[in-house]
């Protein structure tokens, strides 16, 4: 973040980092190319990950901004956009 400023074209997406070992922090999603792993919300610009948030089934909303009118996924998007310069 110190050496890169994203352009006006940004993308917010969720990605799965493959992990097949034993961990309480992994997520299992059927019918996906990566069925088990760590779930990460990322804010990208020109193929560069500017900032990311880890998702954990145990602490799914612990690191998110608490807003009554937003569901956890939308809260993650809101929090990522607040980290833009």
- As a dihedral over the C-alpha atoms of residue 57, residue 26, residue 56, residue 82, rounded to 10 degrees, the angle is -130
Query: Which residues span the domain enclosing 43?
Result: 11-82
Assigned token pair, 83 = 């980290």
**Is residue 71 very low, low, confident or very high in pLDDT (cuts 50, 70, 90)?**
confident
**Is residue 11 very low, low, confident or very high in pLDDT (cuts 50, 70, 90)?**
very high
The verdict on residue 66 lying in a domain is yes
The verdict on residue 5 lying in a domain is no
The verdict on residue 32 lying in a domain is yes
The verdict on residue 6 lying in a domain is no
Report whether pLDDT(37) > 90: yes
**Is residue 1 very low, low, confident or very high in pLDDT (cuts 50, 70, 90)?**
confident
Structural domain count, the chain: 1
Residue 37, judged by CB atoms within 10 A of its CB (0-12, 13-18, 19+), counts as buried
Contact by Cβ (8 Å): 37, 17: yes
The verdict on residue 76 lying in a domain is yes
The verdict on residue 45 lying in a domain is yes
The verdict on residue 2 lying in a domain is no
The verdict on residue 3 lying in a domain is no
């Amino acid at each position: 973040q110190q050496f890169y400023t994203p352009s006006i074209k940004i993308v917010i997406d969720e990605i799965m980092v493959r992990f097949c070992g034993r961990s309480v922090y992994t997520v299992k999603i059927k019918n996906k190319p990566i069925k088990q792993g760590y779930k990460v919300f990322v804010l990208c610009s020109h193929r560069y990950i500017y900032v990311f948030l880890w998702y954990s089934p145990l602490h799914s909303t612990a690191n998110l901004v608490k807003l009554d009118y937003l569901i956890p996924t939308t809260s993650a998007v809101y929090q990522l956009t607040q980290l833009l310069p």
